[in-house]
């Protein structure tokens, strides 16, 4: 196409590793859909853990899947 230009866009992602420990304990006693931890901070962000004991996506007993968003 006459007169057109191609634009090249480059991006760089720089990440810094952060580690932390959160002791999440609960007693499975009711019919709750999920259990949620208190908020905690790691790497400058606040996080909370939700555990779904009756998850239909569980693949094996004793395994835990942790999706983050």
Q: What pLDDT score was predicted for residue 20?
A: 79
Q: What pLDDT score was predicted for residue 4?
A: 65
The domain in which residue 49 lies consists of 28-55
pLDDT digits (tens, 9 = 90+) for 11-57: 777 777 888 777 877 776 677 778 888 888 888 888 888 877 776 66
The answer to whether the CB of 40 falls within 8 A of the CB of 19 is no
With a cut of 80, say whether residue 62 has pLDDT above it: no
The answer to whether residue 40 is domain-embedded is yes
The answer to whether the CB of 49 falls within 8 A of the CB of 66 is yes
The answer to whether residue 41 is domain-embedded is yes
At 15 the three-state DSSP class reads coil
The answer to whether residue 65 is domain-embedded is no
The answer to whether residue 17 is domain-embedded is no
State residue 35 phi and psi, 5-degree precision: -120, 135
The answer to whether residue 38 is domain-embedded is yes
The answer to whether residue 32 is domain-embedded is yes
Q: What pLDDT score was predicted for residue 68?
A: 55
Q: What pLDDT score was predicted for residue 33?
A: 79
Domain tally for the chain?
Answer: 1
């Amino acid at each position: 196409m006459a007169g057109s230009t191609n634009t090249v866009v480059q991006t760089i992602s720089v990440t810094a590793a952060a580690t932390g420990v959160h002791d999440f304990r609960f007693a499975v006693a009711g019919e709750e859909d999920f259990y949620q931890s208190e908020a905690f901070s790691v790497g400058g962000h606040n996080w909370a853990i939700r555990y779904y004991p009756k998850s239909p996506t569980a693949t094996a007993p004793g395994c835990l899947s942790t999706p983050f968003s």
